[in-house]
């Protein structure tokens, strides 16, 4: 299936913006976070191996997006800090689930207290990828294609009219990462 030339050019500009932003953040020494995949508990013979997280890369959190150190773009989902499971407090089921997820990060080899992003959705920015056009048409994702540019929604489902292009968004938000408030 042929990709619209306007979409292909916009995807190339977006991929270039992501790659240059990742390079500038790395050069500036801005701290990144971990990107991981949550692996479900696995039964091995008579025992069940508890859930753990597996490292997938390093990312910078930029609003609702995660920018990989390789220039890959992800829609941010859930995050935790690696921590000991501790004793059950039975305060609520959701709290116990969060404690188990934090312990899964620790079992995955992350240092205690380290921020770990997981369940992130990759956003394809290659015209060669057949999923790119479909992904940019999904209103649940924070990015979309409108007016000849890949644009960033301020919230899921928001219209793209008046939304900044991905390059503008990255420039604006990364300036905040490079020069934190009060600096």
pLDDT tens for 31-72 read 999 999 999 988 888 888 899 999 999 999 999 999 999 999
**Which pTM was predicted?**
0.89
| pLDDT averaged over every residue in the chain | 91
pLDDT above 70: percentage of residues in the chain:
97
Query: Between 88 and 169, whose confidence is greater?
Result: 169
**pLDDT at res. 183:** 58
Q: Which of 182, 129, 144 is nearest to 65 (CA)?
A: 144
Residue 21: pLDDT over 90: yes
pLDDT, one tens digit per residue, over 142-153 is 999 999 999 999
Query: Between 167 and 87, whose confidence is greater?
Result: 167
Where are the domains positioned within the chain? 5-178
């Amino acid at each position: 299936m042929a990709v619209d030339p306007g979409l292909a050019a916009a995807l190339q500009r977006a991929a270039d913006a992501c790659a240059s932003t990742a390079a500038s953040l790395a050069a500036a020494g801005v701290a990144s976070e971990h990107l991981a995949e949550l692996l479900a508990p696995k039964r091995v013979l008579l025992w069940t191996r508890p859930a753990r997280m597996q490292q997938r890369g390093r990312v910078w959190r930029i609003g609702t997006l995660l920018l990989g150190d390789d220039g890959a773009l992800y829609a941010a989902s859930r995050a935790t800090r690696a921590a000991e499971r501790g004793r059950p407090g039975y305060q609520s089921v959701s709290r116990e689930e969060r404690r188990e997820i934090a312990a899964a990060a620790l079992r995955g080899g992350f240092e205690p207290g380290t921020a770990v992003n997981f369940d992130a959705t990759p956003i394809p920015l290659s015209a060669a990828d057949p999923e790119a056009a479909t992904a940019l048409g999904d209103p649940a994702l924070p990015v979309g294609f409108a007016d000849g540019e890949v644009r960033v929604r301020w919230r899921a489902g928001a219209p793209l009219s008046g939304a900044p292009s991905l390059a503008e968004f990255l420039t604006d938000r990364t300036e905040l990462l490079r020069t934190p408030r009060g600096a």
